[in-house]
Amino acid sequence: MHPNESAAHPLLEEAAEFLELFVREQGIHQEFNLKGRLEDIRAELEHEGTYHHSPAELAFGARIAWRNSNRCIGRLPWRSLHVLDYRSAHTPREAFAALRQYVAFATNGGRIRPAVAILPPSHPEDERPPRILNSKLIRYAGYGVDGDVRGDPDERVFTAVCEDLGWRGAQTDFDLLPVVLDMPGHEPEWFEWSRREALEVSLAHPNLGWFEELGLRWYAVPIVSDMTLNIGGIEYTAAPFNGWFMGAEIGARNLSDEQRYNVLPEIAARMKLDTSEPASLWKDRALVELNASVLHSFKEAGIRIVDHHSVCREFMTFVRQEERDGRQVCGDWSWLIPPLASSTTEVFHRSWPNDIRTPGFFYRDPVDLPR
């Protein structure tokens, strides 16, 4: 039977498509018994309703998923993604122990390594799949209501969920949220990071001596934890992954957006800028200095970060490498352009098909958080 012919179980066709890609791109047509592997998968599907990837298949699939990530501008090192296999972690405590290992590995003392931590996949017999309820594995809590908010306003709902589960923060602007793990057969459970584990950077400025008085800080490693990794039809619903920050993510979004930390007015006031009208470009001038602070502070702390001009050049290198390999890059232009000086980059003046491909990382359907 040809692997693409119709089969009794719908996952078999997806498995066949993935394995054909695996064999073709790895160049292992002679060594890999594709027909035999598919027969094994068919037997697993008939017996268990699912199948299991080998470590090599898992690593390949995760790397291709990063290559296919439409919204990611940092895909140039996709081949070097470290794939940490934690599929044997089934309880919340086992899962958190695995995530602690992963965070330490990825952080690497500031020499950040791109990595993904893969917990057990969804199983048809489970009432609900394994989930990390946080949107980011490391982030700051948010408290209060509109007009009286402390911390990150974007995390107020999730902070309330954590409080309902028994967690209590110190009510500062930069309280590290706990990790909330929902594993099959267990109630959701929360676990706290130590300040040492979640490496942070206090922001200073190379020329503005008062900048440190603002008390701004940010965590070192961006870890997305609310997406599902789909490889050959198998859904890894708890598979947090990371690269390293583009400075503008912090300086031109997280700290500067009005609906987030909104620090530009205070910076402008300290710079004695005319804020009476937008035509003075006070936001632009404050924004540049905030971004200069982020890049300077991370560099001084020895933590890997990239500026938006450099990452755009790296993305175009990725595009040209993919074209040389006969592949068309997919991309969501609205996410790829940096939020600062966009039109000065080559990415701004290009576009790519926004195709959805697998293997890939996909946002989960909204779920009711435990309240």
Residue positions annotated with a catalytic role: 72, 75, 244, 249
Place of tokens 């938006």: 308
Give the count of alpha carbons within 13 A of 3, CB side only.
21
Cis peptide preceding 359, ω within 30 of 0: yes
- Round to whole Å and give the CA distance between 142 and 159: 6
CA distances from 369 to 10, 151, 164, 188 (A): 30, 21, 11, 10
- Round to whole Å and give the CA distance between 367 and 356: 22
- Round to whole Å and give the CA distance between 236 and 61: 11
**Can you list the pairs that 346-351 forms with residues at least 24 positions away whose Cβ atoms lie under 8 Å?**
346/312, 346/313, 346/316, 347/73, 347/312, 347/315, 347/316, 350/316, 350/319
CA distances from 299 to 73, 107, 132, 296 (A): 21, 15, 31, 5
166 phi/psi in degrees, rounded to 5: 115, -5
Q: What is the DSSP secondary structure assignment for residue 367, as one 8-state letter?
A: -
Q: What is the DSSP secondary structure assignment for residue 181, as one 8-state letter?
A: E
Three-state SS sequence of 239-302: CCEECCCEHHHHHHHHCCCCCCCCCHHHHHHHCCCCCCCHHHCHHHHHHHHHHHHHHHHHHHCC
Environment class of 192 (CB within 10 Å of its CB; exposed 0-12, middle 13-18, buried 19+):
middle
